[in-house]
Amino acid sequence: MKSYASSAEIRSYLKAVTCHYEIDRYISLRSAVTRTVWSETESKWTVSVQNQGDFDCEILVNACGILNNVQYPRVKDLDLFQGPLLHTAAWDDNVDLSGKRVAIIGAGASAIQTLPAIAETVERCDVYIRTPSWISPPFGTDKPGNFTYTEEEKQRFRDDPDFSLSTRKAMETSFNNLYSASVKGSEEQVALRNALEKSMKALIRDPELHDKLIPKFEVGCRRVNPGERYLTALQLPNVHPVFEPIDSVTPEGVVCGGQLREVDAIITATGFDTSFRPRFPIIGRNGRDLRDLWRDDPVGYFGLAVSGFPNYLVFLGPNTPISNGSLMGTLEATVEYFIRLFKKFMHEKAVSFDIREEVQADFDAHTQDTMKQMVWTGPCRSWFKSEDGKVRALWPGSSLHYREVLESNRWEDFKWGYRGNRFAHWGLGRATVEFESEKTRDLAYYFEKHKPLPLEAYYLAAIGNDARVAIGDSFRKSGEGGEEGKVVLEDDDEDTLVNTPEVVGI
Ligand SMILES: Cc1cc2nc3c(=O)[nH]c(=O)nc-3n(C[C@H](O)[C@H](O)[C@H](O)COP(=O)(O)OP(=O)(O)OC[C@H]3O[C@@H](n4cnc5c(N)ncnc54)[C@H](O)[C@@H]3O)c2cc1C
Ligand SMILES: NC(=O)c1ccc[n+]([C@@H]2O[C@H](COP(=O)([O-])OP(=O)(O)OC[C@H]3O[C@@H](n4cnc5c(N)ncnc54)[C@H](OP(=O)(O)O)[C@@H]3O)[C@@H](O)[C@H]2O)c1
């Protein structure tokens, strides 16, 4: 078990989760959705699945993800290359890279993870770096690199839930602490930049490489990567960082600066189509296709709904906290919000919900305004931004802020549709508790344990509560030109409060 779990480990865990909770029986694998259409008259979605037909549902949740539609680089004649052409997210385990000459195109999170994994086994590796990334020490731990947990540590995680929780909390806290540094020019941004510059310089031996590998833009403008092993690997004798743009690809290799560098395999670490445009038609109200609506400018509500697309929910739509911290916590918060929404929908026997247009417009305007102050609108190229410079991938706040906003439900942001009277589901007006088992239900659940009032309260009530003032308080007797003075203790009472008829009416 490594500190950064491998894809195989994550996959095996997720498979075990689906089996343990018996949700595997609800999952239909190899079922590509090809089209979804909203019916206004029936208030339902029809989902077409390749080779399987059409299925209806009241609520459609799109969980197609944003980082899985692989994008190859726009490089001339890439398709002419005769050797294996891999993408980091379309990997072929049958390709053996050991002892081979390899090219990696890209310098984002995927390239940064790939290079150290292959550098020592390949004969030669050329790494094409168009824009460098900020590299940080590992997040959430003091230990270096991708360390392996000892048997003792693993046993302690199993046996000691407090230890397990505090370890996980420490990691999450370190992510959640980073948000302040995302504000342009903030103290935290300056401190982080200085710290990373120092740690990167310490790891890069050749001062000429400092200029090429240490970014000029703000930390976080594009994703910060915990990848010190990448910097070390880049300096191995068989690894060659290349900073010139690629001219073209030939059957034998990559042409750069007019020179052919022959390779046996090319790994493209060039990311994903992150345009938010759905890959299949999503036809909402008035026959509107979301692919057309989001062709140039994907605007939604909190990254989870779109006005004009009733009963449609989406994970990781535009402006979710996809890189404002760990995504897992965000996804869980979104799931919990969806479940609360489903419960309301079912309980109230609603038939539709649709985000109000003006709410979505306000969210968008506020988001883009806030983004001006954030490092994400800095001078870097990143998939967080659209071509017009609008930050579309991120939430205008921290992950914790997103969670807090969702926890407040904001059901007023939706237009709710009902078949008839919105209160019809009240029936004869019984509360849920009244339907619970007579043995266990509590029909006076809103009563709390008695908290007796102090005797002083009765005394105050007897003499008039307004009379309560503290010794030393200034007062003026009521009426014009009323006498001014200070409250003093007039008898032997040691209490700090005096309640005398003289001060009534101040
Ligand atoms: C290399 C890599 C590493 C990452 N590491 C982290 C990390 O450490 N921490 C973190 O928080 N996040 C990480 N992320 C972000 C990651 O994408 C999310 O955390 C997570 O995978 C999102 O889950 P998801 O279910 O929303 O989307 P996905 O995991 O992308 O799943 C979407 C699913 O929808 C399916 N699908 C797509 N289109 C259709 C269709 N038409 N019909 C039917 N099915 C379809 C896809 O096949 C896929 O199975 C990483 C991303 C990448 C690429
Ligand atoms: N462990 C993790 O948490 C993890 C790991 C991997 C990915 N991810 C997620 O996935 C996202 C995508 O990461 P990614 O690294 O796959 O993609 P990415 O961040 O979009 O990076 C793509 C890289 O390819 C380069 N590139 C594209 N076309 C090129 C060309 N023609 N010539 C040279 N370089 C070219 C880009 O350079 P330019 O910058 O110059 O355009 C960039 O360096 C991350 O931001 C993260 O959210 C997470």
pLDDT tens digit sequence for 221-251: 999 999 999 999 999 999 999 999 999 999 9
Q: Report CA(105)–ligand 2 centroid distance (Å).
A: 9
- How far apart are alpha carbons 180 and 375 in whole angstroms? 10
Q: What percentage of residues in the chain have a pLDDT greater than 90? A: 82
pTM of the model: 0.88
Task: State whether the beta carbon of 109 lies less than 6 angstroms from ligand 2.
Answer: yes
Tokens at residue 91, please?
A: 């990997």
Q: Measured between alpha carbons, how far is 416 from 344 in angstroms, rounded to an integer?
A: 11
Separation CA 385–CA 393 (nearest Å): 7
Distance (Å) from CA 183 to ligand 1 centroid: 28
What mean pLDDT, rounded, does the chain reach?
92
Cα–Cα distance for residue pair 149/481, rounded to 1 Å: 79
Say yes or no to pLDDT of 4 above 90. no
Mean pLDDT of 10-26: 95
Instruction: Write out the two tokens for 288.
Output: 């509107």
CA of 67 to the centre of ligand 1 (A): 6
Q: Is 10 in the pocket of ligand 1 (CB under 6 A)?
A: no
- Does 381 sit in the ligand 2 pocket, CB within 6 Å? yes
For residue 465, the model assigns a pLDDT of 62
With a cut of 70, say whether residue 470 has pLDDT above it.
no
- Cβ-based burial of 93 (10 A; exposed 0-12, middle 13-18, buried ≥19): exposed
Is residue 439 over pLDDT 60? yes
Q: Is 75 in the pocket of ligand 2 (CB under 6 A)?
A: yes
Confidence of residue 479 (pLDDT cuts 50, 70, 90): low
Relative to the alpha carbon of 87, which ligand is closest?
2
Q: Is the CB of 117 under 6 A from ligand 2?
A: no
Q: How confident is the model at residue 505 (pLDDT cuts 50, 70, 90)?
A: very low
Q: What is the pLDDT of residues 188-218, one digit of tens each?
A: 999 999 999 999 999 999 999 999 999 999 9
By residue count, the chain amounts to 506
Beta bridge partners of 46: 37, 56
pLDDT at 473: 67
The DSSP H or E segment spanning 497 is: strand 497-498
Q: What is the DSSP string of 420-480?
A: S-TTGGGTTT--GGGGS-TTT--TTTT-----PPPHHHHHHHHH-GGG-EETT-EEE-SST
Ordered domains of the chain (ranges, CATH): 31-69+274-418 (3.50.50.60), 455-497 (no CATH)
pLDDT at 478 over 70: no
- Given a contact cutoff of 8 angstroms between Cβ atoms, the answer to whether 370 and 297 are in contact is no
Q: Is 110 in the pocket of ligand 2 (CB under 6 A)?
A: yes
Contacts of 322 (CB under 8 A, 6+ apart): 66, 303, 316, 330, 393, 394, 395
With a 6 Å cutoff on the Cβ, whether 393 touches ligand 1 is: no
Please determine, for residue 466, whether its predicted confidence score (pLDDT) is greater than 80: no
What DSSP element (H or E) covers 253? strand 253-256
Q: Which of 91, 110, 274 to mutate to test the pocket of ligand 2 (most atoms within 8 A of CB)?
A: 110
Does the beta carbon of 322 sit less than 6 angstroms from any atom of ligand 1? no
Residue 71 confidence (pLDDT): 97
Sign of CA dihedral 8, 9, 15, 18: negative
**CA-CA distance, 287 to 268, in Å (whole number)?**
38
Average pLDDT over residues 39-66: 97
Task: Please name the residue whose Cα sits nearest to atom 35 of ligand 2.
Answer: 106
Which residue has the CA at smallest separation from atom 45 of ligand 1? Answer: 64
Q: What is the pLDDT of residue 262?
A: 98
- Of 10, 64, 71, the residue with max ligand 1 atoms within 8 A of its CB, to mutate for a pocket test, comes to 64
pLDDT tops 60 at residue 497: no
Residue 111 contacts by C-beta under 8 Å, 6 or more apart in sequence? 88, 104, 105, 127, 230, 269
Nearest CA residue ID for atom 22, ligand 2: 270
- Cβ–ligand 1 distance for 14 under 6 Å, the answer no
Ligand 1 contacts CB of residue 68 (under 6 A): yes
Residue 203 CA, ligand 2 centroid: distance in Å: 22
**Who has greater pLDDT, 185 or 487?**
185
CA–CA separation, 33 vs 19, rounded Å?
24
Residue in the structure block whose two tokens are 């010794």: 471
Q: Which pLDDT belongs to residue 37? A: 98
Residue 498 has pLDDT above 60, yes or no: no
Is the C-beta atom of 270 inside 6 A of ligand 2? Answer: yes
